[in-house]
Amino acid sequence: MTRLSGLRVHLRPVALAAALAGLAACSQGGGGQQASSAPDASKDADAIKAGEVQWNQDWKARALEPLVGHYAHDAVVMAPGIAPARGSDDIRAALTQILTDPNFTLTFAPDKVNVAGSGDLAYSEGKYSQTATDPKTHKVTHETGTYVTVYHKADDGAWKAVEDINTPGPAAS
């Protein structure tokens, strides 16, 4: 039993009184409407994690339109060595170019997902691993690094990336 378990016994009457007062306040001026439910940060974080699992599968399948579909129409993608891709058309063009490399692979996974209390903004932060053909040397390269993706909840409840930023880690020695 934790140190706080004894405290719960003393707080139960206070919590009950607060709950009853809250219900009374709702019934007095609510006009019969139910209060909107608060955002469920845990559920939203799970949805973002599941979306990133699907995003990895779309990379593996080299599926251009599903890849573009992970982004909001006005999203920005920033990666080292390339100009920021702004909006769906730029992102589609950048991804089309990337997918021409037969050696290209990308996997990533979040270390954490934070959802704002408002329930409409979130970010994931994690690590990625990428394989690609170096355009100058034509050799296959492997890179690992970190990323941050900022999400906005769309009107349909889907989480869309609005900012996607990655940075490579130190070069392997």
pLDDT by 10s per residue, the chain, length 173: 332 323 233 333 333 333 333 333 333 344 444 445 667 999 999 999 999 999 999 999 999 999 999 999 999 999 988 899 999 999 999 999 999 999 999 999 999 999 999 999 999 999 999 999 998 999 999 999 999 999 999 999 999 999 999 999 987 65
Cβ(70)–Cβ(58) under 8 Å?
Answer: yes
Domain span holding position 119:
41-168
pLDDT, residue 170, reads 85
If asked whether residues 74 and 124 sit together in one domain, one would say yes
**Which burial class, exposed, middle or buried, applies to 15 when counting CB atoms under 10 A from its CB (0-12, 13-18, 19+)?**
exposed
pLDDT, residue 20, reads 32
If asked whether residues 29 and 97 sit together in one domain, one would say no
CATH of the domain at 81: 3.10.450.50
If asked whether residues 103 and 78 sit together in one domain, one would say yes
Contacts of 25 (CB under 8 A, 6+ apart): none
If asked whether residues 27 and 48 sit together in one domain, one would say no
Cβ(110)–Cβ(52) under 8 Å?
Answer: yes
If asked whether residues 65 and 150 sit together in one domain, one would say yes
Cβ(145)–Cβ(132) under 8 Å?
Answer: no
pLDDT, residue 91, reads 98
How far is residue 92's CA from residue 87's CA, in Å, rounded to a whole number?
9
The structure's pTM equals 0.76
Counted residue by residue, the chain has a size of: 173
Alpha helices in 4-140 (DSSP H): 5-29, 41-61, 64-68, 87-99
pLDDT, residue 38, reads 67
pLDDT, residue 82, reads 84
Output the CA–CA distances (angstroms, integers) from residue 117 to 2, 38, 106, in the order listed.
Answer: 28, 9, 31
Residue 173 lies inside a defined structural domain of this protein: no
Q: How many domains does the chain divide into? A: 2
pLDDT, residue 172, reads 63
Token pair 């016994």 is found at 9
